Amino acid sequence: MSWNKRLLNTPIIGDITKKIASMKVSNDAKNIAEHFTQFLKPELATTDELRAEVFKIRHNVYCEELAFEEVKAEGQEKDEFDDHSIFSMIKHKPSSTYTSCVRVVRSSSEAELLPIEKYCLDSIQNESLHPSNFKRTEICEISRLAVKADFRRRKSDQFKGSAIGVISESTYSETELRCFPFIAIGLYMAAATLAIDTGIKHVYVMMEPRLARSMKFVGINFHQLGDAIDYHGLRAPYYINPKIFMDNLTPGFKSLFKAIENDICEQLSELKLI
């Protein structure tokens, strides 16, 4: 373990160091919000053409790069949950290229299961936050987050985990997360807007524990519901709701969220979804 990482794990000193680092990241985020809106734009995939782009990005990351799924002849990665999902992408404005995507899987009845309910229900050990406790129309799952390799060019982003938003913990000492993959954070914020502004009250996600730790550093505090299991790698069930999300988001990243929320809400309004 490096000296810097040992320092971060030291009681009192480690806590102070992490707070200082978090303050720096939060301050940087204010500038990043401006840069984000200048160069990047969240966009809902509301047409067949845009949804095809989502499926191509997912195929590139989940089938070709990570080999989580088999390569498909048509070059698109799709599943049964797409029929009751909302999709968001982030476009690189200068090149009009879509960099990444995420989906919010919704449910209108018991017949429309969330992926976590179909494949990982036994991993949920927190009974009070079990999906069965809530109305079907008030639950959702964030899944299939994918970032294209072309937009992960920095040294810190050259490991496979960055394809699904994970931040390399070995980079924490380099001015503490100046190298955050802000596209991935932007995707989670777009998904949060889709949930909050369409009446969702309970959000689930299966993710790597290190991704949950990464998100916590900016104030996105997912609550772990059970032990990690082998599901496309080591993943655990997590929960978040709008109150937890808004109460814990650091001030700097609230600026980024507001910018993304404005873009997404304008599009949702046009579709008469809010």
Q: Is the dihedral of CA 196, 201, 206, 210 positive or negative?
A: positive
Per-residue confidence (pLDDT) for residue 4, from 0 to 100: 46
Contacts 24+ apart (CB under 8 A), 134-139: 134/201, 134/202, 136/107, 136/108, 136/109, 136/110, 136/112, 137/106, 137/107, 137/108, 137/199, 138/199, 138/200, 138/201, 138/202, 139/106, 139/107, 139/114, 139/200, 139/201, 139/202, 139/203, 139/204
Per-residue confidence (pLDDT) for residue 136, from 0 to 100: 97
**Phi-psi group of 177: left, alpha or beta (phi > 0 → left; psi -120 to 50 → alpha; rest → beta):** left
pTM for the predicted model, two decimal places: 0.81
Per-residue confidence (pLDDT) for residue 161, from 0 to 100: 42
Per-residue confidence (pLDDT) for residue 214, from 0 to 100: 80
Per-residue confidence (pLDDT) for residue 30, from 0 to 100: 64
- The total number of structural domains in the chain stands at 1
Give per-residue pLDDT as tens, 181-215.
678 889 999 999 999 999 999 999 999 898 888 88
Instruction: Please give the backbone phi and psi of residue 159, each rounded to the nearest 5 degrees, phi first.
Output: -110, 155
Per-residue confidence (pLDDT) for residue 52, from 0 to 100: 97
Share of the chain above pLDDT 90, in %: 55
Per-residue confidence (pLDDT) for residue 8, from 0 to 100: 42
Give per-residue pLDDT as tens, 253-272.
888 899 999 999 988 888 77
Between 68 and 55, the more confident residue is: 55
Give per-residue pLDDT as tens, 25-62.
555 656 777 778 888 899 999 999 999 999 999 999 99
Per-residue confidence (pLDDT) for residue 191, from 0 to 100: 95
Residue listed under structure tokens 């299991």: 229
Per-residue confidence (pLDDT) for residue 64, from 0 to 100: 94
* Domain hosting residue 89, numbered range: 3-270
- Between vectors from CA 179 to CA 36 and to CA 214, what angle results, nearest 5°? 95
Give per-residue pLDDT as tens, 208-239.
898 888 888 778 999 999 999 998 888 999 99
Confidence of residue 24 (pLDDT cuts 50, 70, 90): low
How far is CA 155 from each of CA 158, 170, 182, 187, 246, rounded to the nearest angstrom? 6, 11, 14, 21, 31
Per-residue confidence (pLDDT) for residue 236, from 0 to 100: 97
Give per-residue pLDDT as tens, 153-187.
544 444 444 444 444 444 333 333 333 467 888 99
| Residue 127 CB neighbours (<10 A) | 9
Dist CA 33 CA 66 (whole Å): 30
Residue 55 belongs to domain with CATH number? 3.40.630.30
The two most distant CA atoms of the chain are separated, in Å, by 55
Mean pLDDT, all residues of the chain: 82
